[in-house]
Chain A
Amino acid sequence: DTGVSQDPRHKITKRGQNVTFRCDPISEHNRLYWYRQTLGQGPEFLTYFQNEAQLEKSRLLSDRFSAERPKGSFSTLEIQRTEQGDSAMYLCAGRQGSIGELFFGEGSRLTVL
């Protein structure tokens, strides 16, 4: 158990709907990452927070995706107007300090019908 929890674990939605995922790292994780993973591929970087500041965002991330980390604690990832290509596992990871290991949650699996 890494201490990073994600909710929901599974989400099935229809194309065009909005979805939101939540990540709760442990309190010591002042750094937080979101990744997306499709079948047979490694995780793909989406965005990075240091405390509440979003310091890096993938150029591949369309404007339908938005992430927040109010107060530097939990984080949310919202996908608006979902498309079938958004079907993937969305992974959150926390880290303490600038150099160190990432602690991943178990992910939120999205299926867009």
Chain B
Amino acid sequence: DAKTTQPNSMESNEEEPVHLPCNHSTISGTDYIHWYRQLPSQGPEYVIHGLTSNVNNRMASLAIAEDRKSSTLILHRATLRDAAVYYCILRPTTSGTYKYIFGTGTRLKVLA
């Protein structure tokens, strides 16, 4: 199973941008990169996903390295509601498995 590596925790000030890194050096060419976040006492929530090109949506941006061995989730202006655990996940599409493998994620603390 392809694995991802994330820092255990990060801090950010409110209304400042946050860059959450993820390393996935064993990624294969058909693996999608997904990000989810989990607020306390809730199920994980989809944030964004991409394959090769950078992606933007209303929640965040995803910057994917040219060699695809790393990616960065960008929250443009952190709010207190963004305090959560953020998971970077590789979603294989051709290896015969359907599972999304969650690691331990990055716990983001947002300071007022």
Contacts and interface: CB of A to CB of B under 8 A. Distances in A.
A42 B103 contact: yes
Contacts of A42: 85, 87, 102-105
A40 B32 CA distance: 25
Contacts of A2: 43, 45
Contact of A55 (B46, B49, B93, B98): B98
Interface string B91-107: 10100011111111100
Closest 10 CB pairs of A and B: A104-B43, A42-B102, A101-B46, A45-B99, A48-B98, A43-B102, A104-B44, A56-B98, A91-B43, A42-B104
Contacts of A107: 42-43
Which bracket fits the contact residues of B? 20 to 34
10 contacts: A31-B98, A33-B98, A41-B104, A42-B103, A42-B105, A43-B44, A50-B98, A102-B44, A107-B42, A107-B43
Interface of B: 32, 34, 36, 41-46, 49, 85, 87, 91, 93, 97-105
Which bracket fits the contact residues of A? 20 to 34
Interface of A: 2, 4, 31, 33, 35, 40-45, 48, 50, 55-56, 58, 91, 93, 98-99, 101-107
A70 B64 CA distance: 40
A41 to B, nearest CB: 6
B44 A45 contact: no
A43 B44 CA distance: 9
B100 A33 contact: yes
